[in-house]
């Protein structure tokens, strides 16, 4: 999903509000919301991929203006409504006002039929695909070339797992990209490593 959440490489942002040893939480409700979504995951009401995608589905102006834990809260409430645990009317009555939720999901997808195992040292290209479902491929690597550095254990395929579809678990590959190939002439020199699912990659000869 080419949404607001896909932040890597976006321009126009100012300095990071950095203080050494900064806190994780600024208000008591933030910690409680963090715990509530963990409870829902542990109870099996939704999984981590559904949780991530419900944040991504927030309306763009809401996503950009909400604090981090307001996004957590919105994802939690959206999924509780979609799963039939609560209703939006109940939420608005209890909250005493409007309770904006995330937008609807597009259909998910299963593994690429022609995916193939890769090995460290392989040169790969990230498939030039645009999918409207949940996807863990940041837009800045789409169509780009890199080198496989290592292999990670089998992981549920997020494009299916966020949408209630059955798919095979896949390895992910740590792929190294040259920042100056990702953003030619417009980046600080660095290697950018991304964990990429097998279905997103094609091997180069």
Partner 1 sequence: MSRLRPVTAEAPVESRAAAVEQLLDDKGMEATAFVDDFAAHADAHWVSRNGAGVVARAWVDPAYRARLLANGRDAVMELGLTMPPHHRQLVVLENTPSLHNVIVCTLCSCTAFTIIGLAPDWYKDLEYRARVVRQSRTVLREMGLDLPPGIDIKVWDTTADTRYMVLPVRPEGTEGLSEAELAALVTQDALIGVARL
Please, which of residues 58-117 interact with partner 1 by CB under 8 A?
Answer: 64, 67-68, 70, 73, 76-77, 80, 85-86, 90-92, 94-100
The CB-side HSE value for 143 (13 A sphere, CA atoms) comes to 7
Kindly identify the residues of this chain, within the stretch 154-173, that bind partner 1 according to CB under 8 A: 155, 172
Q: How far is the CB of 107 from partner 1 (least distance, A)?
A: 20
Q: How far is the CB of 205 from partner 1 (least distance, A)?
A: 26
- The number of residues that bind partner 1 (CB under 8 A) is 81
State yes or no: residue 140 binds partner 1 (CB under 8 A). yes
Q: Which residues contact 183 (CB under 8 A, 6 or more apart)?
A: 9, 140
Judged by CB under 8 A, the stretch of 26-34, 104-112, 113-121, 124-132 that binds partner 1 is: 26-34
Q: How far is the CB of 70 from partner 1 (least distance, A)?
A: 5
CA neighbor of 175 nearest in space, from 153, 157, 163, 191: 191
> CA dihedral in degrees (119, 124, 128, 131; nearest 10)?
20
Angstrom distance (rounded) from CA 81 to CA 78: 5
């Amino acid at each position: 999903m080419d949404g607001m959440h896909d932040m890597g490489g976006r321009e126009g942002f100012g300095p990071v509000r950095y203080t050494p040893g900064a806190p994780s939480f600024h208000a008591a409700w933030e910690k409680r919301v963090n715990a509530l979504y963990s409870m829902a995951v542990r109870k099996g009401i939704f999984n981590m991929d559904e949780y991530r995608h419900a944040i991504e589905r927030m309306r763009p102006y809401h996503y950009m203006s909400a604090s981090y834990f307001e996004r957590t809260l919105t994802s939690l409430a959206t999924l509780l409504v979609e799963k039939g645990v609560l209703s939006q009317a109940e939420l608005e009555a209890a909250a005493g006002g409007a309770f904006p939720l995330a937008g609807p999901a597009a259909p998910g997808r299963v593994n690429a039929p022609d995916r193939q195992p890769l090995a460290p040292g392989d040169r790969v290209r990230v498939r030039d695909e645009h999918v409207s479902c949940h996807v863990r491929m940041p837009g800045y690597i789409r169509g780009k070339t890199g080198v496989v550095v290592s292999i990670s254990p089998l992981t549920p395929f997020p494009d299916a797992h966020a949408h209630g579809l059955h798919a095979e678990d896949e390895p992910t590959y740590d792929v190294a990209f040259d920042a100056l190939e990702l953003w030619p002439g417009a980046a600080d020199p660095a290697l950018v490593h991304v964990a990429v699912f097998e279905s997103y990659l094609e091997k180069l000869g």
